[in-house]
Amino acid sequence: MADWVAACDEGEIDEEDVIRFDHGDRTFAVYRSPEDEYFATDGFCTHERAHLANGLVMDDIIECPKHNGRFNYKTGQAKGAPACINLKTYPVKVEGGKIMIRID
């Protein structure tokens, strides 16, 4: 069963940035796009499990800090080597000033 979980407050993520969110034994990355929308993916790069929250966000791309693999954080699609496995994405909504992620 999927649950909505509060990841952070709206003001905690700068525009065109990412933060780390840990829940239970899982790690997520939560993004704020230049269009002021929020997105969430698994928190580790699919190449060598580096924390994506330490990466660089440019437009709709997150660049892994370890080997510069790139992903579209809106779709999860791997966009640049050495990353070739897509990221899992999660539904996000804003409710009462909180960024909520639907975790299954």
pLDDT tens-digit profile of 66-101?
999 999 999 999 998 898 999 999 999 999 999 999
Q: What is the mean pLDDT of the chain?
A: 95
| Residue ranges of domains in the chain | 14-88
- Is the predicted pLDDT of residue 26 greater than 70, yes or no? yes
Strand order from edge to edge, sheet including 78-80: 56-58, 61-63, 70-72, 78-80
Q: Which CATH class is domain 14-88?
A: mainly beta
- Is the predicted pLDDT of residue 104 greater than 90, yes or no? no
Q: Which pLDDT belongs to residue 94?
A: 96
